[in-house]
Amino acid sequence: MARATGESRNALADRLLSEAIKTATHPLIRFQPGALGRRRALVVGTRLYVHQLISTLRGNDGDVDQTAEDFGLAPQLIRSALAYYADFTDEVDEDAAVATQIEHEERERWERQQRAIA
């Protein structure tokens, strides 16, 4: 498994231990491979990354109930994402930055394709 992901055994063990500790503290958070092989935090039972919920929560001026309603989720899930974010702000902010960069690159690629066929 370590070779398939490009991680050494030690790096794999460190990552899995780190994720296990985070999951023990934040039981409604799991980790999934994301862009560029990064493993990003997401909320259990959803396909939503923590950074997505935090972005919407900010847009709702911190209103947990409104954010829960926007996504059709229980407020507990939004509070879980917020708790994780409070503990791992830099990690989640980096996830958001990477997602924004990939979004930008994909948009530029699409625009080049559209120009190529115009």
Per residue in 6-27, pLDDT tens? Answer: 678 888 888 888 888 899 899 9
Which residues contact residue 90 at a Cβ distance below 8 angstroms, ignoring those fewer than 6 apart? none
Per residue in 69-111, pLDDT tens? Answer: 999 999 999 999 999 999 999 999 998 998 889 889 999 999 9
For residue 1, give both structure tokens: 């498994």
SS3 31: strand
| Higher local confidence (pLDDT), 62 or 7 | 62
Q: Which fold has domain 28-116?
A: Arc Repressor Mutant, subunit A (1.10.10)
Q: Domain map of the chain by residue range?
A: 28-116
Q: Is the pLDDT of residue 118 over 70?
A: yes
